[in-house]
Amino acid sequence: MIPCMSGPFKMLTILMQIPKGLLDCDARALHSILSGPTLIKLEGQRQEVLFISVLLHGNEVSGWEVLRRVLLTYQQRSLPRSLYLFIGNVSAAAEGRRCLPGQADYNRIWKADTDTAEHRLAGKVLRELEQQPLFAAIDIHNNSGMNPHYACINKLGSNFLHLARLFSRTVVYFIRPDEVMSLAMAAYCPSVTLECGQPGETTGITHAEEFVEACLHLSAFPEPALPDKEIDLFHTVATVKLKAGCLPGIAQSGVDFALLPDMDKLNFTELPAGSLFGWCEGSDLPLDAWNEQGEEIAAHYFVIHEGEIVTRTPVMPSMLSLDQEIIQQDCLCYLMERLSLCQAQRIYAD
Ligand SMILES: [Zn+2]
């Protein structure tokens, strides 16, 4: 079957079992069995549902590889708890793309503030889920730069921290962007986004598979709060984007923003004020930095000095990538600050 690019948008398919042959397919081949975005509901011994979404970005294949591995081990025996799976952008996966031209980004459609076919799809998935008792929600992603494996949460409740810590001691809390799956699911149950390194890397797949197995077997989250020494918690305080119309390039002249050639090595590195962050021509910053309140505060973080863009305050970037399509479609990076559990409790209480 040839994936349908220009035909009618495929609305949600709901299945109660794994279609024959599905587990033989890699992400690119899923379209030969699935007609589009699909929710698969599998019953297990414990009723409270573990929800897992994969391929919201069609090129981030590790999540599907994790599901294949997990489901293959349960072919002859029952699941320890009910498992609902959402396989997202099947048509983009067929082409190995994050999303296809004309599609909304599947991880920016989970807030009911826009009316596109993809937003209606997201609404339908959420309505299916909210009728179920939910144990936890996991959205599995890859990223393109050099990043450690880490978990993101959008609420600082104790169960969210426990769930995230089960995957990694590096945990990122953010509330912008606010249209992501994990933030929508946080209204119903503890919810995380996993970042499992680069697409298809075995270590990331194995790591997430072990996490999913642990969640399937976990009966409840531990009562005692995590001690501070158990977790490295970071708060995303700004999203850095290229200004509209600005062209990026890697260490080259004639572009609006020249990245450092190995810029992605700065991910999860605490940079002191005065660190080089790229080059530009002219006196206008080619970057915007948006804080949680939606205010533009690039001048708080960056200054231009003789063609060099230099940091003004201590910051730690994440998600820096040299992939120019991602930089232009999504963002350049996020800026983070370290958060103690005491500070986290105060934010949660507010
Ligand atoms: Zn992603």
User: Is the pLDDT at 128 greater than 90, yes or no?
Assistant: yes
For residue 78, report the distance from its CA to the centre of ligand 1, in Å. Answer: 30
With beta carbons less than 8 A apart as the criterion, state whether 209 and 70 touch.
yes
**Ranges 112-116, 155-159, 165-169: which has the least confidence:** 112-116
For residue 38, report the distance from its CA to the centre of ligand 1, in Å. Answer: 18
Specify the pTM: 0.92
What's residue 225's pLDDT?
85
What's residue 98's pLDDT?
93
For residue 265, report the distance from its CA to the centre of ligand 1, in Å. Answer: 19
For residue 308, report the distance from its CA to the centre of ligand 1, in Å. Answer: 30
For residue 101, report the distance from its CA to the centre of ligand 1, in Å. Answer: 16
The model's pLDDT over 281-306, given as tens digits with 9 standing for 90+, comes to 989 999 999 999 999 999 999 999 99
The model's pLDDT over 178-196, given as tens digits with 9 standing for 90+, comes to 999 999 999 999 999 999 9
For residue 278, give both structure tokens: 């790229």
For residue 80, report the distance from its CA to the centre of ligand 1, in Å. Answer: 28
What's residue 34's pLDDT?
97
For residue 224, report the distance from its CA to the centre of ligand 1, in Å. Answer: 32
For residue 200, give both structure tokens: 């298809």
Instruction: Give CA separation, 161 vs 158, 171, 213, 228, in Å.
Output: 5, 8, 18, 11
State CA 334 to chain mean position distance.
13
What's residue 145's pLDDT?
79
For residue 143, report the distance from its CA to the centre of ligand 1, in Å. Answer: 6
Task: Give the count of alpha carbons within 13 A of 277, CB side only.
Answer: 31
For residue 142, report the distance from its CA to the centre of ligand 1, in Å. Answer: 6
Question: What b-and-e string marks burial along 33-61, b requiring 16 or more CB atoms within 10 Å of the CB?
Answer: bbebbbbbbbebebeebbbbbbbbbbbbb
pLDDT band at 5 (very low <50, low <70, confident <90, very high): very low
pLDDT band at 146 (very low <50, low <70, confident <90, very high): confident
For residue 141, report the distance from its CA to the centre of ligand 1, in Å. Answer: 4
153 in helix, strand or coil? strand
Task: Give the count of alpha carbons within 13 A of 343, CB side only.
Answer: 9
pLDDT, average across residues 253-262 = 94
